[in-house]
Structure 1
Amino acid sequence: MMKQFQANDPGRKAAFYLSRIGFVLYLLGNLIWYWVRNTLAGRVTVFLILPLMLAYILVIAPLSTSHPTGETVRLYIPTGATFRQIADSLEAHRLLHHKRLFIWLGKLTGKERNARAGMFDIPRGLSTWELLNYLEKAPNAQIKVTIPEGILARRMAGIFQRKLGIDSTRFMSLVYDSAFARELTGETIENLEGYLFPETYFFEWKMPPEQIIRHMVSRTLELFQSPAARRRLQELGWTPHQVLTLASIIEGEAMVDSERVIISSLYHNRLRLGWPLQADPTIQFIVPGPPRRLLKKDLEIDSPYNTYKYPGLPPGPINNPGKKSILAALYPANTPYLYMVAVGDGSHKFSRTLKEHNYWHARFNEIRRRVKRRSR
């Protein structure tokens, strides 16, 4: 019968063993209870052990037990937040499970005074004690900020304000501080337009604008530090400021990467001949308001940035060019081109003579007129 019971009924087998374990525990419990009630040693043991057990359950375990999950939660602690408000926020994000203990320990240890404002990536599963230490010592979160090529500093200031919470007015005042600009670049310039390198950065929340600008300018100037770049500047007889000025015009003109060096060669050719650059992006720079279709009267605006009116480079960059445009300004293609006309798809048709240019200009204008008539 026993063999059949063991082989054919696992449920009854488990119940059989559980009943015997329960019986043993029952006997053991009665023996312990008798020992506690009827012996001095038992009563002393309970008196000592019970408080320790309660202390472990209520304090030590919450303080020391952590269960890291590998997941982090980004938490923003505003300037002026009280320690209780920080605890409320931690609890709301399910990062804290013993709020009263957390607040009590913060007051007891003085760590409540060391909690900082900022943006933090806090790991899930930290113990109460680990969480207190983390808020005291953790670095601010690194926030990804992408700055596109060809924009002006005022647009960058808005991006940094939204992403990092910085003071955009302070950012702009530094960009247009001539003493600061000369300190960073070593050139006699009035502002840092053109020197703010566009790329993807990882900055801390509320990072001081001065640090952001210093880093961006250093990234631009790095492009001119190599021996090859220095030799090239000597060959051209140019300063980095002049290169950045031309690069900004290329950035404003080029929509096709492969055309950057060709556009650069066209402008270099015109500069060698002493011709006006006749670059539309420089007119857009001086026309008030958002970009629009240029009118004939716009070409008559009296400004040193009007490259239709004045030959040579304008006084400074008209945007903040990217690496491709800077390298194109340094290393133009070898072409005979002096003219170009926009095709309409972002590319250009390049010409050597005015006659050829006028032909392509008339042809593309006719195509535009046909397209416009069909769209009505």
Structure 2
Amino acid sequence: MFSIAAAYAGYRLFWQPQTPATQQAIEVLVPKGSGISQIASILEKNGVVRNASALAMAARLSGYDRQLQAGKFSIPAGKSNLDILRLLRSGQQVHRKITVPEGLTARQVASLLASEVDLDSAKFMQSINDSTIAQQLGVPAKRLEGYLFPETYNLPYGMTEKEIITVMVQQFNSQRPNSFNQKAKQIGLSAQQVITLASIIEGEAMIDSERTVISAVYHNRLRKGMRLQADPTIQYIIPDGPRRLLNADLTIDSPYNTYKYAGLPPGPINNPGKKSIEAALSPANVPYLYMVARGDGSHVFSRTLAEHNRAHQAFNRYRREVARQKKNQSRGGADANK
């Protein structure tokens, strides 16, 4: 009789399901430094187990009480105390699938990640601007702007800021063209300059087929000693961008102001994707020195300043017409509401 009672008690303590099998999985955060009593209490409060004391006892009897990991876990329904302890012991944490688009600045990447995983955006930026970390990761620059590769990542909850940065830089290195160094040498640019140029192309291009042509415009201007006059570099230095640029913005005294200073800025202005990096390395064979946006994401490319001015005037007419149509539509809506 005693053995039957003991077996039943053992079943309830170790193997009895704690929640109905039909219930959805429950996500639980186990803070760093938590002891078994605190962990058991957290699980009970979140509805993962029925009795915190029973879970703590099961942990001590099984020897798991000092082997449980901190982090965020997804506890499936219908699991026993022993199942739950094994899961917490394994360290198999919740993962978040996060897509980092091309062309985000490091600060924008920090904000995106902070909203999805347990990340301190200020610490993230400190690591981005730490030249020692850049050196440890083999990046030929004093900061890591430009080297956070845009990709979809499956990140476990609880990674440190430096660990996430390391994953992104490693992805950059794995996606960088095999001929990167050779091509950079052929076009007379350092690795850092290639990524800087790629980031400007990324900031300018909205249509993939134009990337190599935009690259050619900048390469041609660099060869002739002309200022790049690249709007994305101004967007990088204004505090309230992105927005329509004003003439006053073009006079800001910053080494990133390519309207004021010749050559490439001192570093990347965003984190470019593979297509822009390839475009920076392999510009189209075209004679263009100028470009102006059409307003639909595409550009008009010109060889001479006179051609460029005509294209610019056409764009201004288009912009005024769009503004006029919007104004008329607004008036029509106001009249309809009278």
Q: Judging changes above 3 Å, is the alpha-carbon distance between structure 1 residues 299 and 152 closer, same or farther for their aligned structure 2 residues?
A: same
Residue pair 1:69, 1:123 contacting (<8 A) in 2 also: no
- The answer for the alignment partner of 1:301 in structure 2 is 252
Counterpart residue identity of residue 156, structure 1 = V
Counterpart residue identity of residue 213, structure 1 = I
**Equivalent of residue 116 in structure 1, options 41, 51, 69:** 69
Q: Name the CA distance, whole Å, in 1 between partners of 2:114 and 2:180.
A: 34
Alignment of 1:273-312 (within 5 A): 273-312=224-263
Residue pair 2:177, 2:278 contacting (<8 A) in 1 also: no
- The answer for the alignment partner of 1:193 in structure 2 is 145
**Equivalent of residue 207 in structure 1, options 153, 159, 162:** 159
- The answer for the alignment partner of 2:105 in structure 1 is 152
- The answer for the alignment partner of 1:174 in structure 2 is 127
Q: Name the CA distance, whole Å, in 1 between partners of 2:136 and 2:68.
A: 36
Residue pair 1:248, 1:325 contacting (<8 A) in 2 also: yes
Q: Name the CA distance, whole Å, in 2 between partners of 1:195 and 1:120.
A: 30
Alignment of 1:124-139 (within 5 A): 124-139=77-92
Give the structure-1-normalised TM-score: 0.78
Residue pair 2:102, 2:271 contacting (<8 A) in 1 also: yes
RMSD: 2.5
- The answer for the alignment partner of 2:118 in structure 1 is 165
Gaps of 5+ in 1: 1-49
Alignment of 1:346-361 (within 5 A): 346-361=297-312
Q: Name the CA distance, whole Å, in 2 between partners of 1:258 and 1:186.
A: 29
- The answer for the alignment partner of 2:323 in structure 1 is 372
Give the stretch that moved more between structures: 137-146 or 107-116: 107-116
By how many angstroms is 1:109 displaced?
4.3
- Output one character per residue of 1:73-118: Cα deviation in whole Å (capped at 9) or x when no partner: 4322234555345335434655435654322222444533333321
Q: Judging changes above 3 Å, is the alpha-carbon distance between structure 1 residues 178 and 262 closer, same or farther for their aligned structure 2 residues?
A: same
Q: Judging changes above 3 Å, is the alpha-carbon distance between structure 1 residues 138 and 296 closer, same or farther for their aligned structure 2 residues?
A: closer
Residue pair 1:277, 1:307 contacting (<8 A) in 2 also: yes
- The answer for the alignment partner of 2:330 in structure 1 is none
Give the stretch that moved more between structures: 121-130 or 264-273: 121-130
Residue pair 2:14, 2:58 contacting (<8 A) in 1 also: no
Q: Judging changes above 3 Å, is the alpha-carbon distance between structure 1 residues 230 and 80 closer, same or farther for their aligned structure 2 residues?
A: closer
Q: Judging changes above 3 Å, is the alpha-carbon distance between structure 1 residues 78 and 162 closer, same or farther for their aligned structure 2 residues?
A: farther
* 3-state SS in 2 of match to 1:74: strand
Residue pair 2:96, 2:157 contacting (<8 A) in 1 also: yes
Residue pair 1:74, 1:119 contacting (<8 A) in 2 also: yes
* 3-state SS in 1 of match to 2:185: helix
Q: Name the CA distance, whole Å, in 2 between partners of 1:331 and 1:151.
A: 23
1:256 paired to 2:207? yes
- Number of residue pairs the alignment of both structures matches: 325
- Which one has a bigger Cα radius of gyration? 1
- Output one character per residue of 1:218-262: Cα deviation in whole Å (capped at 9) or x when no partner: 222334461x33321221122221111001101111112221121
Q: Judging changes above 3 Å, is the alpha-carbon distance between structure 1 residues 166 and 374 closer, same or farther for their aligned structure 2 residues?
A: closer
Q: Name the CA distance, whole Å, in 2 between partners of 1:251 and 1:353.
A: 24
- The answer for the alignment partner of 1:245 in structure 2 is 196
Residue pair 1:194, 1:317 contacting (<8 A) in 2 also: yes
1:232 paired to 2:203? no
Give the structure-2-normalised TM-score: 0.86
Give the stretch that moved more between structures: 300-309 or 65-74: 65-74
Q: Name the CA distance, whole Å, in 1 between partners of 2:239 and 2:224.
A: 31
* 3-state SS in 1 of match to 2:8: helix
By how many angstroms is 1:362 displaced?
0.7
Q: Name the CA distance, whole Å, in 1 between partners of 2:175 and 2:57.
A: 54
Q: Judging changes above 3 Å, is the alpha-carbon distance between structure 1 residues 183 and 56 closer, same or farther for their aligned structure 2 residues?
A: closer
- The answer for the alignment partner of 2:59 in structure 1 is 106
By how many angstroms is 1:359 displaced?
1.1
By how many angstroms is 1:179 displaced?
2.5
Q: Name the CA distance, whole Å, in 2 between partners of 1:327 and 1:72.
A: 44
* 3-state SS in 1 of match to 2:65: helix
- The answer for the alignment partner of 1:27 in structure 2 is none
By how many angstroms is 1:183 displaced?
3.2
* 3-state SS in 2 of match to 1:185: coil
- Percent of pairs identical after alignment? 47
By how many angstroms is 1:155 displaced?
2.0
Residue pair 1:340, 1:351 contacting (<8 A) in 2 also: yes
Q: Name the CA distance, whole Å, in 1 between partners of 2:313 and 2:72.
A: 57
